Structure 1
Amino acid sequence: MPNAKPLGGALVLDLADEPLLVTGRYLADMGARVIHVEAAGGDATRARGPFVDGEAGMERGLPHLLYNAGKQSLALDLESDEAWGRIRAIAETADVVIAPVEKSDRARALLETLEAAEEGPAVIDAVLRRGQPELAVSDLAAAAAGGLLYCCGFPEAPPDYPAGKLGYKQASYVGVAAACAAIFDRRLRDRRNRAEISLQEATASTTIQAANQNIWRWWGSVCERAGESGLENRALGTGFNSWKTGNTGTVTLIKSYGTTFATKDGQWVAFMPNPVRWALFSEWYREVMGEGYGMGTEEWQDPMFRAAHREEMNRYFIEFCASLDRDELVRRGQEGRHYATPVQTAADIAGDPHLHVRDFFPAVEHPALGRAIPKPRSPYRFSAFDVEARPAPALGEHTETVLRALDAGSLGARRGTARGRAGDLPLSGYRVLDFCWMAAGPLITELLANLGADVVKVESATGIDQVREFVHPPTGFGIDTGGFFADCNTNKRSLTLNLHKPETVDFIKQHLLPRFDMVTSNYAPDAMSKWGLGPEHLLPLRPDLVIGSFPVMGHSGPKSHWRAIGNGVLALSGVPGHMGEPDRPPVGMGTLHTDFTLAPIAAAGLIAALLQREETGEGQFLEIAQYEASVHLLDTELIDQLVNGVTTARRGNASPDAVPHGVYPTAGDDRWVAISAHTDAQWLALCDAMGRGDLASRSDLAGVEGRRGAEAEINAAIAAWTSDGDEWEIAERLQARCIPASALESVADQVERDAGLRDYYLSYDRGEVPFLAHKQPFTWNGAYLPTRPSPALGEHNLEILQGELGLDDETLAQLVIDEIVC
C-alpha cells in the first residue's frame, strides 16, 4: 500500500479543549503533524475516565487514548511567559492553530497577536453562540441551543440527551473540514484564513430533516417527540415515487411514523420495506403473518393507499417485527434489498464480523501502557495512503524533540509545490461531478460547493433524487419545492442525464469527465461499477481524478451489500442503543444524525486528496463507509467495550463528568432549560442563583461524587426552581455566573426568537414559495460562505451542454430524443 500522506508536511498547533479535540485527531489521521499543547501536569482529557482496566492514571484514560491518537504531546508550564513565547513561535510556523473554546488570558492574547499579524497561520475557533464568545460551554448546552435535544425522546417526558457528546463531535468535524480548506488555500495560494464555528449552528445543521425550518415557515408545525416512532410532523411530501404515480398536485398531511420496532427476542430493529420492492415484501409478510391479513391484501400494493393509512400500517409493522428475531429480520430484509438494520450497542459493534474482516479494530501498541489495545480505526480509506493506527502520546513525549527543532529553525509547515486556481475561496476553479443522492452524500458535496467548487449534480426525471419529494409547501407544490432538498444542495448546478442508458455513460466519459477534478457517489458499492463509472473505469481514463465513494458498509466485507438510509445507519452507530433512560426503548433519537455528521469529515478527506493531487499529479480513490464513520459518534462506549469488555449502561440525561446535568421544566407547554455544573465553583454559583444556601453548605455535596449520590434530590430542587420561570431568562442568569445553560430551542424558536441565528439562514423565494436554507455553521474570515439556492431539476442543462460543451441545437435535440438528457 502506498503511504504518501494527503496532509504530509502540514503543521497543526493543537490548543483545543474538549469541544474541538477531535479535530486534531482526524488531521493527524491524514498525515498532518499535530502538536498538542498541554499543561505540565496533563490536560483534562487524561483525567477523564473510564480508564484501562478501571485503573486511573495519566496514560490510562480512554478519552485520551481515543481522541489524542496520532498527535504529539508538548507539555509546558502554561503559567509561564516563557512557555507562551515558545507556543507563539510554533504558531507562527504552523499552517493551522486550533483554538481552545474556553480561553485563558494568555491563550486569548496569543490569538489576538496572531490575528493582528500580516502573516501567520489559519485559526480554527469556536463559540457556543455566534457573537457571544463569553458564554460558558457544554455539550448539553450546544445540544439544547442547536435544537437537537428538542427532537430526542418521548412525549410528556424531558427530552433525551444523546450519547456521544454530539454537539462537540459535529463542531470538531466541521473543524476538520475548515482546517483542510485552510491548509489547501495556504499551500496553493499562500492565503491565511480564519474560521469560527458556532456549536449551536453545527448542532442545528444535524436537525434539518427532523426540524426543518421550512416546515415551520410553511405550516407552523414543530416536530413532536414520539419515542420509538421518532418524530411527528404534520407536513411531509407525497413519498417515494410520487412523480411516477402522478400524485404531484397535493401534499399529504401525515404523521412521521417511526421505523424502529421491537423484535421477538426483545431487541430492536430499524426497518422499512424498499418501496420499489413492495410486492416482494408482501410475499414475505404473508409468509410470516398469514394470507389475507393486514398488509398482505391487494389494496396495500397501492402507494397512495399506504400513505393514507400510515397509522394502520405502523400497527402492522409492529406486529410483523414482533414476530421475528432481530437477526433473522435483518438477514431476510437485507436479502430482499429492504432497509433493515439492528439497533446496536457497543457490544454488537465490537463483535461485528464485518468490521473485523475490514480490520476496523487494529491492536495499537502503546509504549506508555506497555501493551497493545484495540481501537476503532480511522474512517478514511485512501487508495494512495494507508492510514496508520497510532497511539496517543505519553505526557510530554515530544517536548524535547519539538523544542529542539524550534530552536534549530527546522520546525515549520512545508510550503506548496503547486499553485491553486484563481478565485476567492479555497476550492474556486475546481469542479465536482456529483452522483450523490438522498442526504448523506449531497451534504458532502454541498460543503465543497460552499467552499467554492463548481458542483454539477447529475440526476434525472427517471432517477430523481428522492429527497426532492419531502417537505413541501401547502401551495405551489412542485418537483423543485422540496424544503429538505433545499438544505442539501445549495450552490450546486443540476444536469439531467439518464444513467440507465449505456450511451449516457459514454457521453459522460467523452464530454464531461475531461472537465472535472472529482467524482462523488454514495450509491451502493456496485452501482457505479454496473454503470461503467466505477474507479476501475474512470481512473485509467483520468489518472489525476479524485473519486469519492461513501456507501453504507464499504466496498468489502460480508455486509457490503447491506442497504440503509439515515435512521438505519443511526441504528448501527450505537448512539440510540446507549441513550435515554434504561427503562425505556433505546430509540429516542429523533434526527437522522449520521446523514449530517458524514459531510464535514468526508469533505475534508476529499480536499486532502485534491491537495495531494495538485502536488503530485496523481488522483486516487477515497472510501468512507457510513457505518464506520458513524461508530465514531460514540464517546468512550466503544473503546471501553473493546479494551475493558464493559458495556456502558444507559444513564438518561446524567453525565459521568458533571452533577447536576439535565433538562428541567419551565413555564409553558413542553418548555425546558438545560443546566450543568462541571466544576465545584459552578455548583456553588448555581446554588446561589437558586437561593439554596442550604445545598451549598452541605459537605456531602461539595464534590462531584458526593453530588452524584444525591442526584435525584438535586434534580428535584432545580426543577422546582425552574418550573415557573422563562427558560431564556434562566439561561441568561446562569450564563452571567459562568454556568453552562441554554434554553431548549425548537425550530420555531430558532426561526422566530433567536436573533443570533437570523443571518445563519439563506432566505429566498422560488416563484411564490418562500424558502429558508441553512448556511454552513462557520464563518470564513468573518462572514458566512457565499450561499445560493439549490437548483431546479435540470436548471443548468443548456448552460452546461451548450454553453460549456458547445453542443449545437440538433445534437442536443437528439440527446433528448434518445432519452440521454431527460
Structure 2
Amino acid sequence: MHNSDSNGSVRKGPLSRFTVLDASRVRAGPTAIRLFADLGARVIKLEIPSGAPGGDDMIGGRDHNRADYENLHRNKESLTLNMKAPEGIAILHKLVKQADVFIENYRPDVKYRLGIGPEALRAINPRLVYASISGFGQDGPYANWPGFDSIAQGMGGLMSVTGKPGEGPMRVGIPIADLCAGHFCAQAILAALLEREVSGEGQWVQTSLLESQIAMLDFQAAQWLIDGKVPGQNGNEHPLTVPTGVFETSDGYLNLAAIGQTMWKRLCDALEVPHLVQEPGFGSDPERVQNRERVNAAVGAAFKTRSTADWTERLLEAGVPCGPIHRVDQVFGDAQVRHLGITRPMHHPELGDISLIGLPMRFSSHPREDGPLRPAPHQGDQTDAILADLGYAPADIARLRAAFVV
C-alpha cells in the first residue's frame, strides 16, 4: 500500500512505510498497534459491521467510554468487514497482499474457524508479520480460557506482592497486564520486521497476558527462581531497602528512595537527625530491613515537622531521591511534565479541542509535532475509500453494505 491514508494525506514518522491490519479489540492489541499508528504507519482497524451477527459489545467500544476510545484508536482508519462472509474474506485477502502486519487477539481457536490463521494469511503474503495476543498462550491447558487483565494479574503473581501486608491481594490501579502484553507484542512485531529485511520472510509472533505479567515480576520473580524466597506484600515500601516509600509530611505525603548507606547518611543529615546513623540496628540496609518499623518511625517523626515542598527541596539539595505524590490532575499541572510535552493537542469534530497522552519517546528526525493527532474514526468511516482503493466500484460497495459484508 502507498504511504498515505484513505483520505490521501501523506503519513509522517519512522514507521510510515508500513501498513497494519488491526483485527484486535478491547485493550492489549489496540495498545500494541497505537504505537504503530502514532509513529506514522497506516493502521486499518477491522470492525464487525453494525447489524451483522456476532457484533462486539465488549468494554472499550466508542460509546462505552469515549475518552478511552479516543486514547486507544487515534490515528487509525476504520473498515467494517464481516470475516464470516466469503466476500469479506476475499476483501481481507486483498488487504493482506499489500499489508506488512496483521494482529489479532481472538481466543486461539477462533482464527482457525474463520480461516484467517497465520498459515492461511502468510500463504497469501509470505512477508506478512502475523501477531497474536492471547490470555494464556496459543496452546496448553488454559489456552481457551477468556483472557482478562485482572485475571492475569492474579495468576501472574502481581496481586500477591501488591498492597499492604495482611490486607489480601490487591489489583494494580492500571490494566498493567493488558498494557504490557501490548507493548511486548509491539516489540516482537518490530523485531520481526527488522529480521524480514534480511530474510525476506515474515513470521508469526505471539505473546499473552499471563506471560507478559510474569515477565514484569522482574526482581520479585528472581527472588523465587534464584533464592527460593516467596516475596510478599510490602505496601509502599521496598522489600530490600529501608527507608523507602511514602512518608507523611505536615501538609501531605512524600515519596522517598534512600537506598544504600550513602543515601542513608545524607537523609539523616538533611532531616537533622544525624544520630540515627549510629543507632544500633540502623547501620546497613540488611539491618534496617530487620528493624523496618523502628527506622520508619524515627524518620517519619522528622518528616511530619515540615511541608512536602520544603522536604523535597532540602532532600534534593542533599542528593536524596524523593518527590511529591500527585493526583492525576496534579500530574498534568507539574512544571516538568508541562516542559516534557507528553500531552498532544487534538481537534475533535465533536469534542472540540482536547489533549491526549503522546508517545513517551523522542526521535531527532521526527519532531513530535510531525502531523497532528487524528481523532479515532467512527465505525466504518474509511470503508468506501479503502474498498475503492482495492478496486471496488460504488455499486459493488453498495451491494456489500446491503449484505452486511462491510
Equivalence map 1:562-601=2 (5 Å): 562-601=145-184
Give the match for residue 285 of structure 2: 704
Structure 2 unmatched runs, 5+: 1-9
In 1, Cα distance between the equivalents of 2:183 and 2:309? 31
Greater shift after overlay, 789-798 or 542-551?
A: 789-798
Give the structure 2 partner of residue 809 of structure 1.
Answer: 394
1:535 lines up with 2:121 in the alignment? no
Q: 2:399 aligned with 1:818, yes or no? A: no
Deviations 1:255-274 (A, max 9, x none): xxxxxxxxxxxxxxxxxxxx
| 2-structure distance, mates of 1:693, 1:641 | 36
Match of 2:185 in 1: 602
Task: Confirm or deny: 8 A CA contact 1:775 1:785 kept in the other structure.
Answer: no
1:214-363 equivalence runs, <5 A: none
Task: Report if aligned partners of 2:49, 2:404 keep a CA contact under 8 Å in 1.
Answer: no
Shift of 1:699: 5.7
Q: Identify the residue that residue 482 of structure 1 maps to in structure 2.
A: 66
Which residue of structure 2 aligns with residue 137 of structure 1? none
- Structure 2 Cα separation of the partners of residues 723 and 805 of structure 1: 68
CA displacement 1:704-749 (0-9 Å, x = unmatched): 2332343212222333333364434432332222211121122111
For residue 173 of structure 2, give the secondary structure of its aligned residue in structure 1.
Answer: coil
C-alpha contact (below 8 Å) 2:149/2:209 kept by paired residues: no
Alignment of 1:62-461 (within 5 A): 425-461=13-49
Residue type matched to 1:460 in 2? I
Is 1:651 the counterpart of 2:237 in the alignment? Answer: no
Deviation, structure 1 residue 584: 0.8
- Out of 367, 374, 378, the residue aligned to residue 789 of structure 1 is 374
Cα distance in 1 between the residues matched to 2:240 and 2:70? 39
Structure 1 equivalent of residue 384 of structure 2? 798
SS in 2 for 1:495: strand
Q: 1:433 touches 1:516 (CA, 8 Å); kept in 2?
A: yes
Q: Distance in 1 between matches of 2:57 and 2:97?
A: 25
Q: 1:724 to 1:441 in 2, by over 3 A?
A: farther
Q: Deviations over 1:656-697 (max 9, x none)?
A: 4321011112345xx421102112221121112211122234
- Aligned AA (1:789): R
Retained in 1: the 8 A contact 2:348–2:375?
no
1:737 — aligned with what? 318
Kept in 1, the 8 Å contact 2:11–2:41? The answer is no
Q: Which string of whole-angstrom CA distances, capped at 9 and with x for unpartnered residues, describes residues 136-162 of structure 1?
A: xxxxxxxxxxxxxxxxxxxxxxxxxxx
Deviation per CA, 1:551-601: give whole Å up to 9, x if none. 111111111011122111211221111223221111152221111122332
How many Å apart are 1:644 and its aligned residue? 4.7
Q: Is the 8 A contact 1:569 1:630 kept in 2?
A: yes
TM-align CA RMSD: 2.5
* Distance in structure 1 (CA, Å) of the matches to 2:91 and 2:276: 74
Q: Which amino acid aligns with 1:766?
A: H
Q: Distance in 2 between matches of 1:729 and 1:460?
A: 56
- Taking a change above 3 Å as real, the CA distance of residues 612 and 626 of structure 1, as seen in their structure-2 partners, is same
SS at match of 2:35: helix
Secondary structure of 2:103 counterpart: strand
**Which digits, 9 at most, give the CA deviation of each residue in 1:150-190, with x for residues without a partner?**
xxxxxxxxxxxxxxxxxxxxxxxxxxxxxxxxxxxxxxxxx
Structure 1 residue 755: Cα displacement: 4.4
CA 423–498 in structure 1, closer or farther in 2 if over 3 Å, else same? closer
| Change over 3 Å in CA distance of 1:709–1:554 after alignment to 2 | closer
Aligned to 2:90: 506
Secondary structure at the counterpart of residue 233 of structure 2: coil
C-alpha deviation, 1:444, in angstroms: 0.4
Q: What amino acid is aligned across from residue 115 of structure 2 in structure 1?
A: G
Q: Are 1:694 and 2:282 an aligned pair?
A: no
User: 1:750/1:643 Cα in 2 relative to 1: closer, same or farther (>3 Å)?
Assistant: closer
Aligned to 2:199: 616
8 Å contact from structure 1 (residues 520, 548) kept in 2:
yes
Distance 2:305 2:350 in 1: 42
Whether the 8 Å contact between 2:241 and 2:286 is mirrored in structure 1 is: no
Q: Find the residue that maps to 2:333 and give its secondary structure.
A: helix
Shift of the 538–736 alpha-carbon distance from structure 1 to 2, 3 Å rule, reads: same
What amino acid sits opposite 2:71 in the alignment?
D
- 1:496 match: 80
Q: Is the 8 A contact 1:427 1:453 kept in 2?
A: yes
The letter of the residue matching 1:718 is V
CA separation of 1:812 and 1:732: change in aligned 2, threshold 3 A:
farther
Q: CA deviation at 1:533?
A: 0.9
Aligned-partner SS, 1:583: coil
Q: Deviations over 1:754-800 (max 9, x none)?
A: 44246211222423525332111112228447562342222222332
Amino acid at match of 1:653: N
In the alignment, the residues of structure 1 paired with residue 57 and residue 121 of structure 2 have an alpha-carbon distance, to the nearest angstrom, of 23
Which of 620, 627, 637 is equivalent to 2:210?
627
Change (3 A) 1:530 1:646: same
Q: Does 1:752 align with 2:327?
A: no
Structure 1 vs Structure 2: percent identity of aligned residues? 27
Amino acid at match of 2:297: A
Which residue in the other structure is 1:561 paired with? 144
Is 1:660 aligned to 2:246, yes or no? Answer: no
| Residues 637 and 753 (structure 1), Cα distance of their counterparts in 2 relative to 1, 3 Å cut | closer
Q: Quick check: 1:486–1:789 contact (8 Å CA) kept in 2?
A: no
Deviation at 1:452, TM superposition (A): 2.3
Assess if the C-alpha contact under 8 Å between 1:439 and 1:467 holds in 2: no
3-state SS of paired residue (1:691):
coil
* Alignment partner, residue 721 of structure 1: 302
Question: Residues 816 and 518 from structure 1, CA distance in 2 versus in 1: closer, same or farther, beyond 3 angstroms?
Answer: same
Task: Name the SS for the 1:523 alignment partner.
Answer: coil
**Aligned partners of 1:657 and 1:678 also within 8 Å:** no
Contact 2:46 2:80 (8 Å CA) reproduced? yes
Answer whether contact 2:241 2:288 (CA < 8 A) is retained: no
User: Match of 2:360?
Assistant: 777
CA separation of 1:601 and 1:757: change in aligned 2, threshold 3 A: farther
Q: Where does 1:464-479 land on structure 2 (aligned, <5 Å)?
A: 464=56, 466-469=58-61, 479=63
C-alpha distance in 1 between matches for 2:275 and 2:227: 40
Unaligned residue ranges in structure 1 (runs of 5+) = 1-421, 470-477
Q: Cα offset for 1:445?
A: 0.7
- Provide closer, same or farther for how the CA distance between residues 481 and 677 of structure 1 changes in structure 2, counting only shifts above 3 A: closer
C-alpha deviation, 1:528, in angstroms:
1.7
Change in CA separation of 1:533 and 1:499 when aligned onto 2, cut-off 3 Å = same
Distance (whole Å) between structure 2 residues aligned to residue 617 and residue 588 of structure 1: 43
Q: Could you state the TM-score of these two structures normalised by the residue count of structure 2?
A: 0.87
The answer on whether the counterparts of 1:483 and 1:771 sit within 8 Å (CA) in structure 2 is: no
The CA distance in 1 between the partners of 2:12 and 2:297, in whole Å, is 54
Query: TM-score with structure 1 length normalisation?
Result: 0.45
| Structure 2 counterpart of 1:439, one-letter code | R
Specify the SS of the correspondent of 1:752. Answer: coil
- Aligned partner of 1:799: which letter? A
3-state SS in 1 of match to 2:46: strand
Verify the 8 A CA contact 1:544 1:620 in the aligned structure 2.
Answer: yes
- In structure 2, do the counterparts of structure 1 residues 570 and 610 end up closer, same or farther at CA, with 3 Å as the change threshold? same
Structure 1 residues 683 and 605: CA distance shift in structure 2, 3 A: same
